[in-house]
Amino acid sequence: MATIEDVAKAANVSMSTVSYVLSGKRTISADTRLRVEQAIRKLGYRPHAGARALAMSKTHIIGLVAPLRAGVDVNVILQFVAGIATRARERDHDVLLLTQDDADSIARAAQTSMVDALVVMDVESDDPRLETLESVRQPVVLIGLPHDPRGLSCIDLDFEKVGQRAAEHLIEGGHRRIALIGAPEEVRKRHTSYADRMLHGLSTACRAADAEWTYQPTPSSGSGAAASVDAVLKRMPEVTALMVHNEVALPHVISHLQTLGLRVPEDISLIALAPGSVIDALARPVTGIDLPAERIGRLAVDTVLGDDDAEVRLLQPVLTDRGTTRHLT
Amino acid sequence: MATIEDVAKAANVSMSTVSYVLSGKRTISADTRLRVEQAIRKLGYRPHAGARALAMSKTHIIGLVAPLRAGVDVNVILQFVAGIATRARERDHDVLLLTQDDADSIARAAQTSMVDALVVMDVESDDPRLETLESVRQPVVLIGLPHDPRGLSCIDLDFEKVGQRAAEHLIEGGHRRIALIGAPEEVRKRHTSYADRMLHGLSTACRAADAEWTYQPTPSSGSGAAASVDAVLKRMPEVTALMVHNEVALPHVISHLQTLGLRVPEDISLIALAPGSVIDALARPVTGIDLPAERIGRLAVDTVLGDDDAEVRLLQPVLTDRGTTRHLT
DNA sequence: CTGAAAGCGCTTACAG
DNA sequence: CTGAAAGCGCTTACAG
């Protein structure tokens, strides 16, 4: 590999001049610039990332903490990742993937100065990684909202409002018995922040309107989805509306309702929370709230790279009516 | 951040001694070692990754080239990634995620010495990235098998044998009309290597036995899966066996067959290629060939980090009979 | 407009 | 068993 010294020699200038041609941090005569640029091209020179990081104390690498846990929705995860990776490159950064589920691996990446910033996914209400994250020199952004963010930046969909908005929409339509078909049980068990918040929003709105609600964790499989629907119907026979917050289960819920002879929305209303792409891919789109995962990923990068110093930023849910909720007379 | 110099001062030794205590590359008196270790702990010292990379010409980072393309199976992708990331950490390496779909971004990561090695996913039969990969100083392993690997290491399931094995299993059972429910159309269109190879194996085996076969690309959605089954039944009404190579479509294919009143295996035989976890999650497991994505990911890391210098390594398919293929009398 | 040199934080031959 | 110093490949004050 050619070094900056090789280029300097080939162009008959000093190393500093080559460096400044590259960085544009001082004015260079047209003639010199040309010679340097030619030498760079001829030698196929690229600055050594490690050397540059050492000299500048900047790695141009963002650490992405993405534990691959049971029950997570891979589709949604990958949308977050896509948003983060794309935006990072647009801003001349790379992404270091940290999949280990412990605070130590975060500490390691941060303390060895491998990364300039950290984006953390799959945040729990009382996340054990927070202490480490707080102690780290680099800026951090959480995708999610713990009970106590401890001054860390957070960005997420406002899941509390999602639950609330969905419930209100149904309640306004006269519904009094609502079931939430949620994420797989593991997700709730570890108090993944969005599951907690969503349920809280929904239950609060229901209580305020004196409506009944029930919560049904649901495995991400066809049979699990069907079983969940059955369980709900058994527990709450008079249920008139289903809110589905489980992207994988969603199509299976729909087909199982069909199998049971329950028409949507005549017999039962349906409202979903899922990425727009998932809703669009359904044979028949459903009324729902978009989960803008890719956009959140992009915003996370912007936040952590500093031009957004928003402490806690919660995107407001937008409900799109596609006719799968019925107005009960 | 404390530096090695800080540690040296605190322990009253030279920098080199600290370095050697850390690396274990020379013998240190028990006394000295103790003082150094205490100083390290007290200062919370961690060697600066960039400085180390510069001095050793080793970053301990593996570049993972994983373009997030349309039609890819996110579940399978994430299993590869999990295998790669886990194995990398076991071997004291980190993973840099390169999602951009062009040769330039590979060249950049390699030429700036950001990575020690490259693992490349989603390889096409005639992959345009091969030229760049060939020119790179770092070792490379492809997950997939292009027509001409140009001396690069390759590791993958032997998809040709998968197609062949599945076809033979069915042909031995007396089947003469076989349909392959494949990946989404985009995957085949860009000649993703596994799709090409699978189809080739299947068609060759069918031709050899004078059996009919048809290929049906299939979108990864419920309605797409159903439409594909319908299309196959229309084109080949006498079809007696379906081979499904589309993890997302698989459950929908099964439920659509049920809707159509076709019993498995009495009316139609079913064989799948999917990760074991996906097959296990089905309400009723199907006869199939396991796609050991996580294992391949791990092997890719071992290969590229050097103890496996296997040029081309194709894992042999194992067919597990779970009773969803019928022996036609 | 350009160059010589210090410094970023490590590792590792070279000496003793 | 240990230390002083060169070197890895950059950037950026300092000088001119």
In the listed set B157, B180, B202, which residue is the last one of a domain according to the structure?
B157
Do B138 and B166 belong to one domain?
no
Using DSSP's 3-state secondary structure scheme, residue A171 falls into helix
Q: What are the angstrom distances between the C-alpha of A187 and each of A90, A125, A252? A: 32, 11, 19
Residues with Cβ within 8 Å of residue B280, at least 6 apart in sequence: none
- Are B219 and A251 spatial neighbours (Cβ–Cβ below 8 Å)? no
Note the CA–C1' distance, A83 to D3, in angstroms. Answer: 51
What range defines the domain where residue A182 resides? 159-292
Q: Which of B104, B97, B143 is nearest to B123 (CA)?
A: B143
Do A133 and A152 belong to one domain?
yes
pLDDT at residue B223 greater than cutoff 90:
no
Whether B313 maps to a domain, the answer reads no
Looking at the complex, does the CB of residue A251 fall below 8 Å from at least one CB of chain B? yes
pLDDT at residue B235 greater than cutoff 90:
yes
Tokens for B173, please give them: 């059972």
Instruction: Give the angle subtended at the CA of B145 by the CAs of B143 and B149, to the nearest 5°.
Output: 110
**What is the share, in percent, of chain B residues with pLDDT greater than 90?**
85
- Are A125 and A159 spatial neighbours (Cβ–Cβ below 8 Å)? no
> pLDDT tens, A51-93?
999 999 999 999 999 998 888 888 899 999 999 999 999 999 9
Do B197 and B282 belong to one domain?
yes
In the listed set B157, B173, B189, which residue is the last one of a domain according to the structure?
B157
pLDDT at residue A310 greater than cutoff 70:
no
Residues by Cβ under 7 A, strand D: A 1, 3-5, 15-16, 18-20, 22-23, 25, 45-48, 51-52, 54-56; B 12-17, 20, 26-29, 31-33, 51, 54-55, 57
pLDDT of residue A309: 65
Mutate to test the interface with B, among A68, A114, A118, A257 (most CBs of B within 10 A): A114
Residue type, B201: G
Do A131 and A196 belong to one domain?
no
Do B264 and B218 belong to one domain?
yes
Exposed/middle/buried for A176, CB within 10 Å: 0-12, 13-18, 19+? middle
Helix (H) or strand (E) holding A168: helix A159-172
**What is the share, in percent, of chain B residues with pLDDT greater than 70?**
99
The confidence band for A100, taking pLDDT boundaries of 50, 70 and 90, is: very high
Say if strands A312-315 and A269-274 run parallel, antiparallel, or are unpaired: unpaired
Whether B309 maps to a domain, the answer reads no
User: Which CATH number belongs to the domain containing residue A71 in this structure?
Assistant: 3.40.50.2300
Do A163 and A284 belong to one domain?
yes
**What is the share, in percent, of chain A residues with pLDDT greater than 70?**
99
pLDDT of residue A307: 66
Whether A105 maps to a domain, the answer reads yes
Say if strands B212-216 and B177-181 run parallel, antiparallel, or are unpaired: parallel
In the listed set B157, B175, B190, which residue is the last one of a domain according to the structure?
B157
- Are A269 and A53 spatial neighbours (Cβ–Cβ below 8 Å)? no
SS3 assignment for A245-260? CCCCHHHHHHHHHHHC
Report chain A residues whose CB lies below 8 A from the CB of B48: 54, 112-113
pLDDT at residue B138 greater than cutoff 80:
yes
User: Which CATH number belongs to the domain containing residue A22 in this structure?
Assistant: 1.10.260.40
- Are A279 and A272 spatial neighbours (Cβ–Cβ below 8 Å)? yes
| CA–CA dist B279, B284 (Å, integer) | 8
Note the CA–C1' distance, A40 to C3, in angstroms. Answer: 19
The confidence band for B308, taking pLDDT boundaries of 50, 70 and 90, is: low
> pLDDT tens, A263-299?
999 999 999 999 998 888 888 889 999 999 999 999 9
Residue with tokens 């066809």: A222
> pLDDT tens, A188-212?
899 998 988 999 999 999 999 999 9
pLDDT of residue A144: 95
Do A94 and A106 belong to one domain?
yes
| CA–CA dist A25, B284 (Å, integer) | 65
Do B148 and B254 belong to one domain?
no
Tokens for A50, please give them: 């490690």
Q: Which of A6, A191, A68 is nearest to B86 (CA)?
A: A68
Whether B245 maps to a domain, the answer reads yes
Average pLDDT in the B108-133 region? 96
Q: In A66-152, where do the E strands start and end?
A: 94-98, 117-120, 140-143
| CA–CA dist B161, A261 (Å, integer) | 44
Residue with tokens 């900047």: A58
Whether A55 maps to a domain, the answer reads no
Whether A151 maps to a domain, the answer reads yes
Q: In what order do the strands lie in the sheet with A288-290?
A: A212-216, A177-181, A241-244, A269-274, A288-290, A319-320
Give the phi and the psi of residue A95 in degrees, each rounded to 5. -125, 125
Whether B175 maps to a domain, the answer reads yes
The confidence band for B309, taking pLDDT boundaries of 50, 70 and 90, is: low
Do B205 and B274 belong to one domain?
yes
Give the phi and the psi of residue B317 in degrees, each rounded to 5. -70, 145
pLDDT of residue A278: 85
Q: How many other C-beta atoms can be found within 10 angstroms of the C-beta atom of residue B280?
A: 10
Q: Mean of the per-residue pLDDT values for chain B? A: 94
Whether A132 maps to a domain, the answer reads yes
The b/e string for B184-211 (b: 16+ C-beta within 10 A; e otherwise) is beebbebebbbbbbbbebbbebbeeeeb
> pLDDT tens, B147-196?
999 999 999 999 999 999 999 999 999 999 999 999 999 998 999 989 88
**Nucleotide in closest CA–C1' contact with A52:** D10
pLDDT at residue B329 greater than cutoff 80:
no
| CA–CA dist B88, B244 (Å, integer) | 32
> pLDDT tens, B23-73?
999 999 999 999 999 999 999 999 999 999 999 999 999 999 999 888 888
Do A153 and A163 belong to one domain?
no
Do A171 and A213 belong to one domain?
yes
Q: Looking at the complex, report in whole angstroms how far the Cα of residue A191 sits from the nearest Cα belonging to chain B.
A: 23
> pLDDT tens, A127-179?
999 999 999 999 999 999 999 999 999 999 999 999 999 999 999 999 999 99
Do A181 and A77 belong to one domain?
no
Average pLDDT in the B5-26 region? 94
| CA–CA dist B324, B170 (Å, integer) | 11
Give the number of domains in chain A: 3
Alpha helices per DSSP H over chain B: 4-11, 15-23, 30-43, 49-56, 74-90, 103-111, 130-135, 159-172, 185-189, 193-208, 222-235, 249-259, 276-281, 293-304
Instruction: Give the angle subtended at the CA of A70 by the CAs of A68 and A76, to the nearest 5°.
Output: 60
Measure CB to CB from residue B89 to each of A64, A100, A137 and give the nearest one: A100
C-alpha distance across the termini of chain A, in Å: 75
pLDDT of residue A70: 81
pLDDT at residue B310 greater than cutoff 80:
no
pLDDT at residue B14 greater than cutoff 80:
yes
Closest chain A residue by Cα to residue B80 = A68
pLDDT at residue B75 greater than cutoff 80:
yes
**8-state DSSP, A156:** E
